[in-house]
């Protein structure tokens, strides 16, 4: 079999055995990343309280908003309360505030060390983010969800199938979030200060995900725009799946679109990475 | 082990115009000029060598190392490391490679040292018993024990460097790249690191390429020196040859019984005189043995010593570009 390489020298030939061994390595990396996050227990307790507090604020706003109305944008008051609880639970899982780990590694030149390992740089960071997301799902999202549900009496999904679809859409959302943040962080390489770009991209991400205001409440034109963008996969899609508002062929279409976005972002991310490596000479170090 | 032939790496730099109008111009016009970071460098390194790769800032050292690591693809030229082309078979290539970039760490900042080492064990697929064996050896040589459970962010610079060296060698690489391994360390820490590098090179036969601005590292460790400047090879040979060829010659310090008159000696030049003591520079290719008898001819000599040219001085003069012109002429 002829071997194929890309500009980064990655072997594109697929060997089944090699793939199994290396995926184990990336699982080890994800596990270490999980463990790293585990070190910040006190911060996490404070985080759960903050998420619950903001959830309470949203819920009191929605309760006031719904007074005398049965339905806003397809959601009733209990749906809206549930939306607020889940949105707060998913915030950190989806890294909605962004994280600058990668852009800092790039700016400080740390990536030269990472590139000298027998690893795929992109998968390496994907594994790190996976470990982070699993940590936040278990230790931030789950407690925030349980506390919110107990205090504010949100809705529970209709059946086990809904739970399953809900979790699949969380997985897709996490991957969308990572692939997008990888590109945003990589842009740090071309600017002297990455913060400007990251503020902008994170605001886009948070708003169009439906974390700040449910997309269901958007005016028609803005809703059309939000639904054309992939960011809603981080919050609006999983929550609507959970509430049973997105089912059947409509849901299949949305998830299909998100997979296409995912592929596009992986390709763009890898392309940007290739450009970045080619430019490493200029910065020296 | 390593063969580099006519290696070239060029990159484009775009000119940036200053000011508000300049920013607009930057959008429209892209004036590029080509920088030759590495410009036709060739060398071979045999297995087991410990080579100092020197050059002033911006000479092209890092670029060469990045090409040898497989991170960068050169513009032109041939590179083989253990029979492989680094950038074409990057993953297999780096499996046999250890690298320490002194200003950065290869360890995870927030995790205890041992956790990073454990992760590297999995990444490089080091068998469990080999891992334990290496860890024991590195602990004996580098005294890692006291800080194995400390997060990397809490380590001192010297401890971090020791941990990084251990991390780079866990998988028994045939080839080790060290980029400024002693930068910022105190004398004791430097000596410890140097001792370790020497031990690994001698006992395991690991080929080492060392980039440094600390000429103490070079003097203590390297028999061979490769020097580049402006992307070109300036010198490749033994450290001693470098001293002889580029040094301004040895200096003979003579204490006479009484102040001597003006000395006229073939092959030596008086550079300083204080009372009874005279400093004579012996031409770079001259012989001290030929001059000494002449000193005894007219006067009584009380003491005599020979000063070798300081390597720092030699390197400083090469970096400043004085000697290249001499060589050409």
What's the pLDDT tens digit per position in B99-119? 998 788 889 988 999 999 999
CB A14 within 8 A of CB A59: no
- Bin B251: left if φ > 0, else alpha if -120 < ψ < 50, else beta: beta
Residues of B in contact with A119 (CB under 8 A): 91, 123
pLDDT at A20 over 70: no
Instruction: Please report the pLDDT score of residue B261 as a whole number.
Output: 79
Mean pLDDT for A17-33 is: 78
Instruction: Please report the pLDDT score of residue B105 as a whole number.
Output: 87
Instruction: Please report the pLDDT score of residue A11 as a whole number.
Output: 44
Token pair for residue A13?
A: 């030939």
The CA distance from A165 to A31, in Å, is 25
The CA distance from A228 to A96, in Å, is 19
Contact A115/B71, CB-based, under 8 Å?
yes
| Chain A interface includes B91 (CB < 8 A) | yes
Residue of A nearest to B112 (CA): A36
Q: What is the DSSP letter of B210?
A: E
Contact B101/A282, CB-based, under 8 Å?
no
Which residue in this structure is represented by tokens 């690994």?
B200
pLDDT tens digits, A224-260:
999 999 999 999 999 999 999 988 898 999 999 999 9
Among residues B171, B178, B156, B153, the alpha carbon closest in space to that of B117 is found at: B171
**Range of weakest confidence among A190-194, A279-283, B66-70, B273-277:** A279-283
CB A115 within 8 A of CB A121: yes
Contact A9/B88, CB-based, under 8 Å?
yes
Share of chain A above pLDDT 90, in %: 62
Instruction: Please report the pLDDT score of residue A162 as a whole number.
Output: 94
Q: For chain A, first and last CA: distance in Å?
A: 38
Residues in CB range of A86: below 8 A, 6 or more apart: A145, A154, A235, A238, A239, A242
pLDDT at A145 over 90: yes
Mean pLDDT for A121-125 is: 93
Among residues B120, B152, B145, the alpha carbon closest in space to that of A36 is found at: B152
The CA distance from B2 to B47, in Å, is 8
Structural domain total, chain A: 1
The CA distance from B199 to B138, in Å, is 11
pLDDT tens digits, A41-70:
889 999 999 999 999 999 999 999 888 888
| Chain A interface includes B172 (CB < 8 A) | no
| Chain A interface includes B162 (CB < 8 A) | no
Q: How many CA atoms lie within 13 A of B231 on its CB side?
A: 16
| Chain B interface includes A4 (CB < 8 A) | no
From residue B33, give the alpha-carbon distance in Å to each of A178, B157, B253: 36, 39, 52
b/e per residue A253-284 (b: at least 16 CB within 10 A):
ebbeebeebbeebbeebbebbeebbeebbeee
Instruction: Please report the pLDDT score of residue A82 as a whole number.
Output: 96
- Residue segments in chain B with a per-residue pLDDT below the cut of 70: 14-30, 284, 321-329
Residues 100-159 of B with CB under 8 A from A: 101, 103-106, 108, 110-111, 115, 119, 122-125, 151
| Residue B293 CB burial class (10 angstroms; 0-12, 13-18, ≥19) | exposed
Share of chain A above pLDDT 70, in %: 89
What phi, psi does A95 have (nearest 5°)? 50, 50
Distance from CA of A131 to the nearest CA of B (A): 14
Contact A8/B95, CB-based, under 8 Å?
no
Contacts within 8 Å (CB) and 24+ apart, B286-294: B286/B249, B288/B250, B288/B252, B291/B252, B291/B265, B291/B267, B292/B252, B294/B265, B294/B266
Range of the domain at A64: 2-284
Contact A281/B37, CB-based, under 8 Å?
yes
Instruction: Please report the pLDDT score of residue A32 as a whole number.
Output: 95
Distance from CA of A118 to the nearest CA of B (A): 5
pLDDT tens digits, B25-43:
666 666 777 888 899 999 9
Q: DSSP for B226-243?
A: EEEETTEEEEEEEHHHHH
SS3 A220: helix
Residue of A nearest to B13 (CA): A282
From residue B278, give the alpha-carbon distance in Å to each of B258, B261, B282, B284, B289: 11, 10, 13, 18, 17
Contact B103/A285, CB-based, under 8 Å?
yes
Token pair for residue A128?
A: 């790190």
């Amino acid at each position: 079999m002829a071997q194929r390489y890309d500009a980064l020298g990655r072997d594109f030939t697929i060997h089944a055995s090699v793939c199994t061994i290396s995926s184990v390595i990336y699982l080890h990396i994800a596990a270490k990343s999980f463990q790293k996050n585990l070190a910040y227990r006190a911060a996490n307790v404070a985080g759960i309280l903050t998420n619950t507090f903001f959830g309470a604020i949203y819920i009191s706003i929605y309760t006031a908003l719904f007074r005398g109305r049965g339905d806003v944008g397809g959601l009733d008051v209990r749906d809206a309360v549930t939306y607020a609880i889940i949105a707060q639970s998913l915030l950190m899982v989806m890294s909605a505030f962004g994280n600058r780990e990668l852009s800092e590694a790039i700016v400080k030149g740390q990536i030269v060390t990472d590139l000298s390992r027998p690893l795929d740089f992109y998968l390496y960071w994907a594994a790190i983010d996976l470990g982070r997301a699993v940590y936040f799902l278990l230790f931030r999202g789950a407690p925030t969800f349980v506390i919110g549900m107990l205090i504010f009496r949100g809705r529970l999904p209709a059946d086990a199938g809904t739970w399953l679809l809900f979790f699949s859409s969380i997985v897709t959302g996490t991957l969308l979030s990572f692939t997008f943040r990888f590109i945003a962080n990589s842009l740090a390489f071309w600017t002297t200060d990455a913060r400007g770009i990251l503020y902008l991209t994170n605001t886009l991400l948070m708003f169009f995900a439906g974390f700040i205001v449910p997309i269901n409440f958007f005016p028609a034109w803005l809703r059309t725009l939000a639904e054309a963008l992939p960011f809603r996969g981080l919050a609006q899609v999983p929550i609507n799946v959970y509430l049973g508002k997105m089912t059947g062929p409509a849901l299949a279409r949305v998830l299909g679109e998100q997979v296409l976005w995912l592929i596009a972002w992986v390709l763009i991310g890898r392309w940007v990475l290739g450009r970045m490596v080619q430019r490493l000479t200029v910065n020296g170090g | 082990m390593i063969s580099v032939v006519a290696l070239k790496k060029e990159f484009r730099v775009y000119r940036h115009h200053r000011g508000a109008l300049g920013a607009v111009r930057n959008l429209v016009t892209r004036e590029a000029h080509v920088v030759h970071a590495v410009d036709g460098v060739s060398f071979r390194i045999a297995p087991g060598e410990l080579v100092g790769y020197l050059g002033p800032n911006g000479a092209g050292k890092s670029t060469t190392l990045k090409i040898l690591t497989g991170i960068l693809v050169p513009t032109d030229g041939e590179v083989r490391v253990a029979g492989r082309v680094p950038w074409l078979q990057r993953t297999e290539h780096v499996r046999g490679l250890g690298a320490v970039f002194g200003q950065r760490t290869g360890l995870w900042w927030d995790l205890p040292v041992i956790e990073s080492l454990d992760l590297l064990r999995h990444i490089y697929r080091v068998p469990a018993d080999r891992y334990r064996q290496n860890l024991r050896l590195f602990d004996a040589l580098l005294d890692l024990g006291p800080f194995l459970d400390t997060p990397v962010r809490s380590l001192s610079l010297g401890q971090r460097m020791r941990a990084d060296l251990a991390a780079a060698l866990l998988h028994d690489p045939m080839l080790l790249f060290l980029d400024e391994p002693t930068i910022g360390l105190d004398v004791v820490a430097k000596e410890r690191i140097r001792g370790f590098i020497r031990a690994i090179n001698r006992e395991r036969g690991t080929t080492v390429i060392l980039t440094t601005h600390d000429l103490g590292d070079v003097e203590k460790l390297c028999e061979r020196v490769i020097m580049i400047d402006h992307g070109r090879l300036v010198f490749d040979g033994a450290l001693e040859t470098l001293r002889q060829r580029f040094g301004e010659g040895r200096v003979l310090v003579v204490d006479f019984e009484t102040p001597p008159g003006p000395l006229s000696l073939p092959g030596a030049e008086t550079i300083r005189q204080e009372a009874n003591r005279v400093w004579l520079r012996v031409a770079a290719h001259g012989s001290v043995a030929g001059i000494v008898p002449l000193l005894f001819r007219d006067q009584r000599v009380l003491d005599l010593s020979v000063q070798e040219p300081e390597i720092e001085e030699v390197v400083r003069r090469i970096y400043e570009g004085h000697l290249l012109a001499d060589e050409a002429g």
